[in-house]
């Protein structure tokens, strides 16, 4: 039974380790680790790398082989693992690399559970490092995304996903996504403290009433001033929260849903959303709702 006492952080420490594992399955109690990757990050820069294949106990695997799914997903073969060290041979080196630093990763609780079980079986101790989860961060920061897998984040931020599903490469992709999310947070919140509070306690659904204007004076000639505006789909020029903040700062009114009082619908990347369908129906009924593409929206933001 896993009894590690990790504490989740809702902040990005100055120094931390990004961790990723590849395993023979999804059960940390029954399955085994076959690859470990870790990056040491200090003040936003990678300062060290740790990587090793881990030889599993093949007698515990059906047919003494990796499952076809795991082999196809990771590209790891039995031959690559036969020459690898046993976990007990690597545990001291790995624990030294981790030290007491916070551990970050995408759904990192999965990796920590696996690692803690292996460490306890091998060394009789538990992993008790603090941790932070880039999955929970993306869910709070980018609620407009339909999914928050690492591949989805990489696609959104146009980060190279080549070589994914290998431990060290996944660490690198996670780190790049984390840096991109930090930039998104800076553009989306009035302060770093406000961002951290939202990460820990905020709603995963972005509500219009959460967004208030940061300006006191508005240009009443701006095309967004006094307009009721709804956003649908995914925007790639900025995240939805940042876009809504810009609307509010220009004197516009964000809405959660399309209504007969909506003036503008900003159409991000999507097709046939509920908001779009309702807007088209109301337009057909004679309501003067204008649909803007993301390009048109950005052009309006830059209006002078």
> What's the pLDDT tens digit per position in 50-89?
999 999 999 999 999 999 999 999 999 999 999 999 999 9
pLDDT at 109: 95
Quote the CA–CA distance of 291 and 230 in Å, as a whole number. Answer: 10
Q: Which is higher by pLDDT, 4 or 136?
A: 136
pLDDT score of 93 more than 90: yes
pLDDT band for 6, please (50, 70, 90 cuts).
confident
pLDDT band for 279, please (50, 70, 90 cuts).
very high
pLDDT at 19: 98
Beta bridge partners of 265: 230, 291
* Tens-place pLDDT, residues 25-50: 999 889 999 999 999 999 999 999 99
Query: What's the DSSP call for residue 162?
Result: T
Look up the CATH number of domain 15-188.
3.30.420.10
Grouping H, G, I as helix, E, B as strand and the rest as coil, residue 85 is coil
pLDDT score of 2 more than 70: no
Beta bridge partners of 210: none
pLDDT at 5: 67
Quote the CA–CA distance of 15 and 31 in Å, as a whole number. Answer: 31
Grouping H, G, I as helix, E, B as strand and the rest as coil, residue 22 is strand
- For residue 77, give both structure tokens: 């073969």
Q: Are 117 and 27 spatial neighbours (Cβ–Cβ below 8 Å)?
A: no
Percent of the chain with pLDDT over 90: 93
pLDDT score of 4 more than 70: no
Quote the CA–CA distance of 290 and 263 in Å, as a whole number. Answer: 6
Of the candidates 239, 129, 236, which has an alpha carbon nearest to the alpha carbon of residue 195? 239
pLDDT band for 268, please (50, 70, 90 cuts).
very high
Residues spanned by CATH 3.40.50.10190 within the chain? 208-301
pLDDT at 304: 78
pLDDT band for 216, please (50, 70, 90 cuts).
confident
- Average pLDDT of 272-283? 94
Q: How many CB atoms lie within 10 A of CB 220?
A: 8
pLDDT at 215: 82
Residues spanned by CATH 3.30.420.10 within the chain? 15-188
pLDDT at 1: 40
Look at domain 208-301 and name its CATH class.
Answer: alpha beta
């Amino acid at each position: 039974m896993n009894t590690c006492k990790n504490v989740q952080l809702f902040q990005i420490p100055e120094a931390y380790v990004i961790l990723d594992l590849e395993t023979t399955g999804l059960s940390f109690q029954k399955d085994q680790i076959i690859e470990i990757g870790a990056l040491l990050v200090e003040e936003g820069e990678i300062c060290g790398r740790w990587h090793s294949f881990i030889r599993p106990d093949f007698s515990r695997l059906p047919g003494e082989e990796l499952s076809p799914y795991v082999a196809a997903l990771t590209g790891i073969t039995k031959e690559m693992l036969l020459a690898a060290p046993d976990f007990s041979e690597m545990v001291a080196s790995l624990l030294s690399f981790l030290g007491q630093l916070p551990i970050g990763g995408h759904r990192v609780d999965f990796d920590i559970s696996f690692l803690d079980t292996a460490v306890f079986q091998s060394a009789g101790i538990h992993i008790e490092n603090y941790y932070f989860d880039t999955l929970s961060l993306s869910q709070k920061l980018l609620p407009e995304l339909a999914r928050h897998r690492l591949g989805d984040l990489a696609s959104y931020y146009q980060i190279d996903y080549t070589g994914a599903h290998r431990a060290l490469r996944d660490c690198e992709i996670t780190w790049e996504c984390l840096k991109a999310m930090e930039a998104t947070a800076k553009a989306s919140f009035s302060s770093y403290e406000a961002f951290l509070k939202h990460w820990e306690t905020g709603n995963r659904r972005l509500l219009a009433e959460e967004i208030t204007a940061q300006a006191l004076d508005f240009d009443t000639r701006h095309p967004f001033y006094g307009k009721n505006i709804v956003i649908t789909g995914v925007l790639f020029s900025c995240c939805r929260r940042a876009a809504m903040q810009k609307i509010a700062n220009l004197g516009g009114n964000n809405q959660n849903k399309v209504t007969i009082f909506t003036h503008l619908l900003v159409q991000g990347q999507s097709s046939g959303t509920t908001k779009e369908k309702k807007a088209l129906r109301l337009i057909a009924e004679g309501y003067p709702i204008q649909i803007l593409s993301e390009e048109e929206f950005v052009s309006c933001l830059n209006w002078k």
